[in-house]
């Protein structure tokens, strides 16, 4: 069995007919040019582009070069032959596809007998990649080491004994890849990356009043990192992928904190990795009052439009022996205006308020909000009250 | 790959047979070539593997997840070395495999790791050594089907004022692998996982495979796999007999809590092991009774309340969730009465716990509607009714037939934000919990009966939405 399934049969025509039409002599010299090197260009969500460097031995005139493949899936329309010389010395004249074959024939013109270095590019199926990350946070949860691994899955039917692998155009390294194997290669590591620990409570997703007899809902906790040079990153974008986060412990070992799917992080951007739930910070939201005002009625006396004053009360408890900052996200649907907000907030969207609540160890905090929902419709337009 | 078994200790009973499904082989490439013509690889095996130094297992409670750290000291030859790790018939997640070099990385570096073609449950690390050397490594991986549960037994004093609490943990191994003399750690906390470890462990290809054409080069795979031999770890595991129960140390880690069992445990596949987690005495407790018709029905619920705090003989660590059985001492040694059982959730330090011991027959709550009135009827211009006030006078009779003072909370859900409470008569106090919930708090002496009376007025108006009468 040949190690490679992709072959180039280089057919040199010894004689050419003077009429200008191409014909082959009975005697042929068949050359199998070795693959010098291959570049595997990997990009997320796109087929893998293979680029091979080969050297063709050309005679003066027009040379047919047969490129065929078996047992691999190449997109025939993607195959490109690129001579690495000037167009006056050698150039590609035509491409033809034999019927019923996984092959194509290039006609390459050469001005002299020569060895012509070329790059052959094609899209190969059955080979792709994943990126996984592993992070190790320090015991104080202030810094972490991030390492990234490429998982090269080669089920293409083709072996690449020496391949230069490029990942998203800004990372490259050499490796081999055999068909049927999955290879994991660490291609990036950076230590001392600052992390910011964050707790997020979202009123649109969390229960307002925890069930006294049921499990307490955990508050999602995660680390925020920035892809900047100040953070020891910022050299290139961080590829998206499953990220497993560990933390050093006092026993010289580590524990697993959780995993999440990291979205690609462009340079200067940030990402938040939610790792698990905190059950030492608890939030209870109670609606203390709703009161209708400014009612507008029709002639029959039925209310058509009204405003509503709402009073909500958050009780936030920190059972930890360490301080923490909770991001409390509250959603108020529809048109509204503040009446009396006890705590400063950031308006993330017209209906989304974010409160940063700093909690001392063991601290309990109560935060009351009063706001007015405006122009609430009754009847058939009531569905517009949420938008 | 067949499981390998060896006798693990004196005695030779069936429980001492231990299965080793995880195998590790180190194959210096140069040495391999030299030895290949010979019949076997015994020389290589003996010269390169020094055995397992240490195993640490960290078992998570909220997920079917265990982190295993397998420490070894390996001998590397100069040049390229391959470490083969196989895990047939286990529940290991192959995507979690990682190798950490514990000694200087100047001499030894990990090039990559390969899951070879055609081989299942097998991975090979390629390691480059600048010179022949010995190095300590840790192999980390996730596995499933190791679990632990916590449970408690509470013994309330005869006077009902204090209780002794005993916590236990039980570790169960269904992973398919024996963990001999493992440092065992237990984690309380909810970790985020994208995939179930058991699912990852069962995948044919560790990371799956892309869609592809049907092209397989079995001969190539066979050739690649050829030359590998497995080293089977042998050796007896001494069964240590502790002179006293193992201690469990506790440590907070990020949002989780780590319980480390003292010493080392041998946890054989299919076995469970129970350990005492903690023991606390004289924890102050109070009996309270909760009545909330919508949640618990017509009977008051008996609750046993205590705090997980240092002043109350607890508070050293959060208490993992688990079943708790509550007994009451009857005075004479060994005489107990079963009071009830509950399942607790995770209890943070400082948090109050109110165990639900079920309906009480000793404390009763009987609400009665004493008066119903519709008032302030409103009509629109066409004479259609558009609103009224619903006025109800409620009388609640509380009775304590127990021999102790009972703290009672009566929760009343009015189920309308447009409500008003008036004419409240109670010997206790009342609090508005939220816009449509009021809670009455009363203390009842033994044998005492009390009444609560109030009027609730609910305004119903046709104002909000069609068909929604409020």
Nearest chain B Cα distance for residue A280, angstroms? 6
Residues in A touching B99 (Cβ below 8 Å):
none
Same domain assignment for residues A150 and A164: yes
Assess whether pLDDT exceeds 60 at residue B50.
no
Cα–Cα distance measured from residue A33 to residue A265, given in angstroms and rounded to the nearest whole number: 42
Cα B70 versus chain centre, distance: 23
Same domain assignment for residues A103 and A33: yes
CA of A46: which chain B residue's CA is closest? B210
Same domain assignment for residues A135 and A118: no
Same domain assignment for residues A138 and A116: no
Same domain assignment for residues A372 and A301: yes
How much is the pLDDT for A297? 86
Nearest chain A Cα distance for residue B192, angstroms? 5
Which is nearest to B239 in space by CA: B9, B12, B5, B20?
B9
Residues in A touching B217 (Cβ below 8 Å):
1, 71, 157, 159, 179-180
Tally of domains within chain A: 3
Identify the residue with better confidence: B8 or B220. B220
pLDDT band at A339 (very low <50, low <70, confident <90, very high): very high
pLDDT tens string A52-74: 888 888 888 888 888 888 888 88
Q: In whole angstroms, how far apart are CA A66 and each of A111, A112, B138?
A: 20, 20, 51
Question: What sections of B144-252 are H helices per DSSP?
Answer: 197-201, 218-225
State the burial class of residue B96 (Cβ atoms within 10 Å of its Cβ: 0-12, 13-18, 19+).
Answer: buried
Which is nearest to B261 in space by CA: B187, B189, B321, B152?
B187
Nearest chain B Cα distance for residue A370, angstroms? 13
The residue behind tokens 């027009």 is A62
pLDDT tens string B253-270: 888 888 888 778 788 888
**Helices then strands, each counted (H, E), chain B:** 5, 30
Assess if residue A254 is contained within a domain.
no
Assess if residue A178 is contained within a domain.
yes
Same domain assignment for residues A375 and A361: yes
Assess if residue A320 is contained within a domain.
yes
Same domain assignment for residues A303 and A374: yes
Assess whether pLDDT exceeds 70 at residue A27.
no
Same domain assignment for residues A35 and A98: yes
Assess if residue A354 is contained within a domain.
yes
How much is the pLDDT for A209? 74
Residue after which a domain boundary falls, among A153, A168, A193: A193
How much is the pLDDT for A162? 83
How much is the pLDDT for A85? 81
Nearest chain A Cα distance for residue B245, angstroms? 22
Same domain assignment for residues A73 and A88: yes
The residue behind tokens 């030894």 is B108
How much is the pLDDT for A169? 65
Assess whether pLDDT exceeds 80 at residue B243.
no
pLDDT tens string A140-174: 999 999 999 999 999 999 898 888 888 876 778 88
Identify the residue with better confidence: A71 or B455. B455
Give the number of other CB atoms < 10 A from CB of residue B255: 28
Cα–Cα distance measured from residue B171 to residue B186, given in angstroms and rounded to the nearest whole number: 9
Same domain assignment for residues A97 and A166: no
Assess if residue A114 is contained within a domain.
yes
Assess whether pLDDT exceeds 60 at residue B32.
no
Residue after which a domain boundary falls, among A170, A193, A216: A193
pLDDT band at B104 (very low <50, low <70, confident <90, very high): low
Q: In whole angstroms, how far apart are CA B2 and each of A347, B119, B123, B200, B467?
A: 62, 14, 17, 21, 71
Q: Which structural domain range is residue A373 located in? A: 282-385
Residues in A touching B96 (Cβ below 8 Å):
244
**Stretch B437-457: mean pLDDT:** 95
Cα–Cα distance measured from residue B442 to residue B427, given in angstroms and rounded to the nearest whole number: 7
Q: What is the mean pLDDT of chain A?
A: 85
The answer to whether A123 touches A47, Cβ cutoff 8 Å, is yes
pLDDT tens string B290-341: 999 999 999 999 999 999 999 999 988 889 999 998 988 887 777 788 888 8
- Give kind and range of the element (H or E) at residue B30: helix B29-35
CB-based contact, B204 to chain A, within 8 Å = no
Cα B54 versus chain centre, distance: 25
Residue after which a domain boundary falls, among A99, A124, A149: A124
State the burial class of residue A169 (Cβ atoms within 10 Å of its Cβ: 0-12, 13-18, 19+).
Answer: exposed
Among the partner-chain residues B67, B116, B435, the one whose CB lies closest to the CB of A290 is B435
CATH number at residue A303: 2.60.40
**Stretch A352-373: mean pLDDT:** 94
B220 with A362: Cβ contact below 8 A: no
To test the contact with chain A by mutation, choose from B95, B256, B291, B439 the residue with the greatest count of A C-beta atoms within 10 A, namely B256
pLDDT tens string B270-300: 888 788 888 899 999 999 999 999 999 999 9
Assess if residue A376 is contained within a domain.
yes
ipTM, 2 dp: 0.76
pLDDT tens string B150-173: 999 999 998 889 999 999 888 999
Residues in B touching A261 (Cβ below 8 Å):
194
How much is the pLDDT for B236? 32
Same domain assignment for residues A83 and A36: yes
Identify the residue with better confidence: B464 or B137. B137
Residue A316's φ and ψ, nearest 5 degrees, are -115, 130
How much is the pLDDT for B8? 24
pLDDT tens string B368-408: 999 999 999 988 888 888 889 999 999 999 999 888 889 99
Same domain assignment for residues A152 and A44: no
Length of chain B: 470
Enter the pTM of the model. 0.77
How much is the pLDDT for B466? 44
Assess if residue A229 is contained within a domain.
no
Assess if residue A241 is contained within a domain.
no
The answer to whether A193 touches A231, Cβ cutoff 8 Å, is yes
Residue B102: CA atoms inside 13 Å, Cβ hemisphere, count?
Answer: 17
């Amino acid at each position: 069995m040949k190690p490679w399934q992709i072959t180039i049969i280089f057919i040199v025509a010894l004689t050419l007919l003077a009429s200008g039409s191409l014909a082959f002599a009975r005697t042929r010299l068949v050359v199998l040019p070795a693959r010098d090197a291959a570049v595997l260009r990997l990009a997320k969500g796109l087929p893998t582009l293979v680029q091979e460097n080969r050297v063709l031995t050309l005679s003066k005139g027009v040379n047919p070069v047969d490129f065929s493949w078996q047992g691999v899936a190449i997109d025939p329309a993607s195959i490109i032959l690129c001579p690495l010389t000037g167009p006056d010395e050698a150039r590609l004249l035509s491409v033809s596809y034999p019927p019923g074959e996984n092959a194509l024939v290039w006609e390459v013109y050469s001005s002299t007998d020569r060895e012509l270095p070329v790059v052959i590019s094609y899209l190969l199926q059955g080979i792709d990649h994943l990126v996984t990350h592993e992070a190790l946070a320090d015991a104080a949860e202030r810094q972490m080491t991030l390492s990234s691994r490429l998982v090269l899955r080669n089920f293409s039917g083709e072996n690449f004994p020496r391949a230069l692998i490029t990942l998203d155009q800004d990372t490259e390294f050499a490796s081999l890849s055999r068909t049927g194997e999955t290879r994991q290669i660490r291609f990036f590591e950076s230590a001392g990356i600052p992390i910011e620990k964050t707790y997020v409570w979202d009123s649109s997703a969390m229960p307002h009043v925890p069930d006294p007899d049921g499990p307490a809902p955990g508050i999602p906790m995660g680390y925020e990192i920035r892809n900047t040079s100040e953070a020891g990153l910022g050299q290139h974008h961080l590829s998206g992928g499953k990220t497993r986060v560990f933390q050093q412990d006092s026993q010289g070992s580590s524990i697993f904190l959780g995993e999440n799917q990291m979205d690609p992080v462009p340079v200067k951007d940030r990402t938040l990795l939610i790792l698990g739930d905190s059950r030492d910070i608890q939030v209870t939201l109670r609606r203390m009052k709703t009161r209708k005002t400014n009612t507008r009625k029709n002639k029959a006396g039925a209310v058509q439009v009204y405003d509503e004053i709402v009073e909500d009360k958050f009780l936030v408890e920190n059972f930890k022996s360490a301080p923490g900052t909770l991001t409390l996200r509250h959603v108020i649907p529809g048109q509204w205006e503040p009446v009396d907000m006890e705590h400063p907030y950031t308006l993330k969207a017209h209906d989304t308020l974010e409160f940063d609540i700093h909690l001392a160890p063991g601290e309990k905090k109560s935060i009351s909000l009063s706001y007015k929902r405006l122009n609430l419709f009754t009847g058939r337009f009531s569905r517009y009250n949420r938008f | 790959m067949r499981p390998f078994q060896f006798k693990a200790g004196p005695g030779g009973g069936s429980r001492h047979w231990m299965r080793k499904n995880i195998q590790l082989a180190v194959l210096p490439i140069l040495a391999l070539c030299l030895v290949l013509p010979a019949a076997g690889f015994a020389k290589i095996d003996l010269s390169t593997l020094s055995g397992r130094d240490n195993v640490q297992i960290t078992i998570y409670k909220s997920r079917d997840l265990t982190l295993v750290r397998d420490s070894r000291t390996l001998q590397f030859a100069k040049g390229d070395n391959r470490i083969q790790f196989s895990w047939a018939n286990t529940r290991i997640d192959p995507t979690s495999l990682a190798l950490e070099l514990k000694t200087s990385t100047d001499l030894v570096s990990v090039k990559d790791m390969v899951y070879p073609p055609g081989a299942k449950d097998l991975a090979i690390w390629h390691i480059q050594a600048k010179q022949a050397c010995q190095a300590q490594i840790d192999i980390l991986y996730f596995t499933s089907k190791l679990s632990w549960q916590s449970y408690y037994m509470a013994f309330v004093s005869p006077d009902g004022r204090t209780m002794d609490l005993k916590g236990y943990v039980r570790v169960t191994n269904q992973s398919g692998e024996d963990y001999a003399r493992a440092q065992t750690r237990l984690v309380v906390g909810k970790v985020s996982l994208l995939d179930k470890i058991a699912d990852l462990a069962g995948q044919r290809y560790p990371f799956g495979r892309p869609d592809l054409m049907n092209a397989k080069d079995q001969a190539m795979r066979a050739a690649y796999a050829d030359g590998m031999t497995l080293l089977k770890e042998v050796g007896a595991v001494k069964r240590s007999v502790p002179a006293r129960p193992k201690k469990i140390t506790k440590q907070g880690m990020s949002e989780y809590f780590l319980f480390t069992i003292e010493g080392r445990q041998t946890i054989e596949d299919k076995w469970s092991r129970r350990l005492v987690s903690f023991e606390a005495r004289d924890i102050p407790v109070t009996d309270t009774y909760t009545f909330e018709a919508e949640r618990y029905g017509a009977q008051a619920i008996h609750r046993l309340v205590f705090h997980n705090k240092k002043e109350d003989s607890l508070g050293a660590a959060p208490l993992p969730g688990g079943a708790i059985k509550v007994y009451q001492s009857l005075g004479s040694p060994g005489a107990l009465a079963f009071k009830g059982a509950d399942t607790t959730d995770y209890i943070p330090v400082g948090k109050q716990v109110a165990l639900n011991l079920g309906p009480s027959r000793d404390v009763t709550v009987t609400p009665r509607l004493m008066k119903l009135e519709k008032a302030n009827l409103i009509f629109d211009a066409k004479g259609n009714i558009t609103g009224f006030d619903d006025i109800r006078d409620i009388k609640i009779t509380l009775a304590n037939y127990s021999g102790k003072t009972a703290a009672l909370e009566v929760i009343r859900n009015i189920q309308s934000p447009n409500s008003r409470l008036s004419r409240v008569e109670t010997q206790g106090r009342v609090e508005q919990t939220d816009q449509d919930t009021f809670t009455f708090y009363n203390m009842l002496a033994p044998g005492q009966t009390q009444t609560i009376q109030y009027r609730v007025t609910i305004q119903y108006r046709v104002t909000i939405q069609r068909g929604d009468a409020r």
